Structure 1
Amino acid sequence: MDDNLGVVRTTTVGSLVPTVFDSYARILYPPLGSAPRPTPAKPVAPSRDQLAPVLEVLTRNTTTPNDCWYAVWEGNTVLDVIRDAAPTANIAGYNYFLLRGPVARATDTLGGLSPNLWWPADHAWCMAQHFDFPCAYLGGSTKTVTDILALDKLETCSVRVDQIVTAGHDEHNY
């Protein structure tokens, strides 16, 4: 019997964010100033203030800042209120509700839940906030990623698309 545990041991940046981009980065939550940084028992969702500079960069690096897709994992019962109305998609083996709005709404929550994936309609970049990790991964152009890495109020680092991101394989400590 195959229990699919191999998937967990080999989760890479490219299994969270499409592998079509020039560059990739990790944005760690919470921001600098919370040392030392143990891995939290439960991932900490970013606040509106924490992601404000990221949203500014991403808005500048798309031609469709008012047309962004948001995918929220459907496995939470708090989302039952939209279950019959929202379109869904299966992405990398997970079922998501698909919502749409401007990039500026990325920090809005739905029943307290942040989007797990979001990307503009022009596909200039993609953010993944996986529910098992206290960080987000971004794929985008070299310019977009360079602009994110230059933000001084967030802890960010460049990552490779083939980099394993599960515990024990983290090349940049949480």
Structure 2
Amino acid sequence: MGRERVLRAAPPVAALVVGVLALAQNPPASWEFWLGAVIVLVIGASALLALAAVRSGQQRQAADERFTEPGPARVVLAAAGEKPPVSLIRAVRTTTGRSLADAVDLARAGGPLADGISAAAARAVADEILAAGGRATVSGQFGEITAAATGEPADWLFDAAVKWSSLTRYGPPDLPTYVRIEFEPAGVPDSYDAVGSTLEVLAEHTTTPEVGYAAVWEGWGAELAGPAAQAPRVEVPERPMLLLTGPVLALRDAPSLGFHATVGGFPPHLAWPADQAWCLACEVDEEIAFTVGCTQETARALAAALPGVREVEYDAPEPLHRDDA
């Protein structure tokens, strides 16, 4: 391979030497000088184009590396029509390392972008496609969300003096601070995911980010096709739930992954880390905002990172529906 590269490089190098000598040994007005200038410009431009191609290939290879991560997830791109946005084509190319022609075909017709990759890589690709104006689905992340072994991790939620309606809207009553976070605060794009963004902040405010729990109302899914079929029940009056477990960042999709093995849809109804540093509560009927009980420090971090965050008293009367606001 080294010898072949030397042989391929010899002609342009020799031409470049001839061009430089012609520039150096002839007066500027002579035809020999101008011939040398043309040779140097052509060889230089060719070298720059070759360097750009190499860098582009390296970037695509770097993007490809995430698709070598083992895992059960699959990313499928929804069809964008005959004239897909340039931003979507670019996103398909950069996230998968596909050629321009393949990226255009995928954007037009839809289809699988990747199979057998990690859940984190799949979510990252889906997010980039969404930001570029496309739609992508992620499925098969059973490894991220599983059924909890027992219902004991949910025992800390219960207090005999607390109504079930307060628990499902505010979580347990003994956390230092409670904040309400709007699902759709003013000025955010349609793609804004308040619960997902909140969990990204909360993952930095726990000593157990790799171990979290999500209690999901058992009536959310008509069929228990995934881990929910083996999950223990959490006996919340009027809202019996099933207990799932996984990393904090995966809890956003616990209902969809636990019941249907797909990403998207409703958020978890109660979610917390193993160290019980905070609790996110989203009543089944909530339309406007959800609650996080946490420390003052965590509340300040949420307010600094997210729009639509305000501190409230535990069990403060809040409208459930937009029509009530």
Q: TM-score range by the shorter chain?
A: 0.7 to 0.9
CA distance in 2, matches of 1:13, 1:95: 12
User: SS of the counterpart of 1:18?
Assistant: coil
Within 5 Å, give how 1:1-174 maps onto structure 2.
12=166, 16-33=170-187, 49-82=193-226, 84-108=229-253, 109-110=255-256, 111=260, 112-134=265-287, 135-152=289-306, 154-166=307-319
Q: Which amino acid aligns with 1:104?
A: L
Contact 1:13 1:160 in 2 (8 A): no
Higher Rg of the two aligned structures: 2
Higher helix share: 2
Q: 1:15 to 1:105 in 2, by over 3 A?
A: closer
Aligned-CA RMSD value: 3.1
* TM-score for the superposition, normalised by structure 1: 0.72
Give the Cα separation in 1 of the matches to 2:201 and 2:319.
27
* Structure 1 residues 73-120: Cα deviation after superposition (integer angstroms, max 9, x where no partner): 001343432454122111354211111001111221414332111000
Name structure 1 gaps, 5 residues minimum.
1-6, 35-45
**Count of residue pairs brought into register by the alignment:** 151
Question: Closer, same or farther in 2 for the Cα pair 1:91/1:12, shift >3 Å?
Answer: closer
CA distance in 2, matches of 1:104, 1:15: 21
**Identity rate, percent:** 31
* TM-score for both structures, normalised by structure 2: 0.41
> Larger strand proportion, structure 1 or 2?
1
- Unaligned 5+ segments in structure 2 are 1-162
24-33 or 110-119: which moved more? Answer: 110-119
Distance 1:65 1:167, change over 3 A: closer
